[in-house]
Structure 1
Amino acid sequence: MIRKIVFLLFALYCFDGVLSNSLIAPCKIDDQACIDKSVGEASTKIIQGIPELGIEPSDPLFIEKIEGNLSILKYKFFNSTIIGYKDCHISDLKVSKELTSVHYVLNCPQLKMSGLYEIDGRLIILPVEGKGDFDLITGKYKIEVDSDLKLTPGSDGKSRLAIKNYKLKCTPLTAIHFDFRNLFNGQKDLSDAVHKFANGNWDEVAKLVQDPVFNAAIGKIIKNTNKMLKATSPDEFVLN
């Protein structure tokens, strides 16, 4: 019984501020160097996962289903795993003084994605169809993120900050390798032609197909960020 009481007191102690205070280092809103460091440290914690808050690791990042309904191409990715977000770093971070918006850039040296796919349509100029296993390996990627923020009242009477929405601008900077097995039911000549085109025109192909993938991945990371923000009040990490 004593052990149970001690454990409960410890849990209350953690969630009454000690844990939350350790999540985001406090900064003045005009201290950009402090904000850069604090957000960088917090993002590392989010990617690593915070079990106490129900936040699973984001590297590897598992996504059950991604669906792309493009004008000339339809595709679905199933049970996909993405590796590499832990190596991305944040730059050009800008938080409005009113805490209503945030802008930042994710600079990723490499992302690897694998899973199952179904695809049908045209890959710019070539017909493509098939289903099976796939692998993608990117080079450097620049992901610009713009989000609106909102303040909502918490059950303890203190406000909570949350990311309300987000817009992405994703730019591949170096070559991407596409590998889709069993295209055209295994017809090698047709499959080779599609892979040669996709890997030779990686920039154009990436810009055609990338948005549903990045929206799903960044959306899941932002959902985890909101779990962390819910555990602490801006009063604890924004200094006057």
Structure 2
Amino acid sequence: MNTRISFLLSVFCFTSGILSSDLNLPCKVTDFICIKKFVITTRARLLSGIPELDIEPSDPLFLEEIDGDLPFLKYKFFNTTLTGFNSCVLSNLGVLNNITSLQYDLDCPKLSVKGKYEMNGKLVSLPVEGNGNFEIITGNYFVRVDYILRKYQGKDEKFHLAGENLKLKCVPKGRVKFNFENMFNGQKDLSDAVLKFAHDNWREVTELIQEPIWFACVKSYIVKMNKLLTTIPLEAYIVFN
């Protein structure tokens, strides 16, 4: 069996699994319960990864680089691993009747982000600089996800959906712990002062640095979702009449 046929069979077997009879697909465009079940089922498969389509898991999620280019603070995270997405609860799912946008809330009880960092500038009001290992552990986090759904014609001459134009609203609700090693070239007194400030002002610090991290994480998920949707024609899961 050649590689192309093997790939198509693996895609067919996977798609048959997603489009199983218990989902009652395709969903009518007005059948919100059916659409919601399809979104939740698909999200679960994306979080665990889809080897048949060479889609890596989203928990743990590996990101090669996160670039935080803020007005008074510049930071980069390298070889970053985020864990905890599987525990996030999806709610308030909204899909416009013409399937042009998707919105939902995530309530995440605990997330961990760790890797390597470079940082220079002001952390709210304190000067900060350093590079080395880092870890951020959050308490409860609320995230509102909103993106456009674009319909396009694929190489199979069928219509597909793709997510784009991502918008996020992120709200840290539980205390956040920070650990950045080797700040100020290892000067312990300066490093301890910054970390104490960060922990005493965890909400303000988190709101300062959070957006590039969350955008990188959710964008990575949407890229994987779009890769999956290239294999599933729109007509297989949504009908408009």
SS at match of 1:189: helix
Q: How is 1:62-211 mapped onto 2 (pairs within 5 angstroms)?
A: 62-211=62-211
Partners of 1:21 and 1:237 within 8 A in 2: no
Partners of 1:159 and 1:234 within 8 A in 2: yes
Matched with 2:14 is 19
Shift of 1:59: 1.1
How many pairs are equivalent? 235
Shift of 1:188: 1.5
Identity across the alignment (%)? 45
Q: Which runs of 5+ in 1 are unaligned?
A: none
Shift of 1:158: 1.2
Shift of 1:145: 1.0
SS at match of 2:103: strand
Partners of 2:66 and 2:216 within 8 A in 1: yes
The residue type paired with residue 202 of structure 1 is W
Cα gap change, 1:192 to 1:208, in 2 (>3 Å):
same
SS at match of 2:195: helix
Moved over 3 A (4+): 7-15
Shift of 1:14: 4.8
The residue type paired with residue 155 of structure 1 is K
Q: Residue deviations 1:100-137, cap 9 Å, x none?
A: 11111121111101111111111111111111110110
The residue type paired with residue 71 of structure 1 is P
Matches of 1:126 and 1:203, distance apart in 2: 15
Matches of 2:9 and 2:118, distance apart in 1: 49
- Cα RMSD between the aligned structures? 1.8
Q: How is 1:219-230 mapped onto 2 (pairs within 5 angstroms)?
A: 219-230=219-230
Matches of 2:78 and 2:10, distance apart in 1: 38
Shift of 1:189: 1.5
Cα gap change, 1:81 to 1:9, in 2 (>3 Å):
closer
The residue type paired with residue 23 of structure 1 is I
SS at match of 2:174: coil
Matches of 1:202 and 1:124, distance apart in 2: 11
Q: Residue deviations 1:171-204, cap 9 Å, x none?
A: 1110000000111111111111111111111111
Shift of 1:19: 2.8
Cα gap change, 1:73 to 1:45, in 2 (>3 Å):
same
Cα gap change, 1:78 to 1:12, in 2 (>3 Å):
closer
Matches of 1:9 and 1:180, distance apart in 2: 49
Tell me the TM-score normalized by structure 2.
0.91
SS at match of 2:145: strand
Shift of 1:9: 6.5
Tell me the TM-score normalized by structure 1.
0.91
Q: Does 1:43 align with 2:38?
A: no
Partners of 1:21 and 1:236 within 8 A in 2: no
Q: Which runs of 5+ in 2 are unaligned?
A: none
Partners of 1:66 and 1:212 within 8 A in 2: yes
Partners of 1:144 and 1:169 within 8 A in 2: yes
Cα gap change, 1:10 to 1:220, in 2 (>3 Å):
closer
Q: Does 1:33 align with 2:28?
A: no
Matches of 2:188 and 2:157, distance apart in 1: 64
Shift of 1:33: 2.6
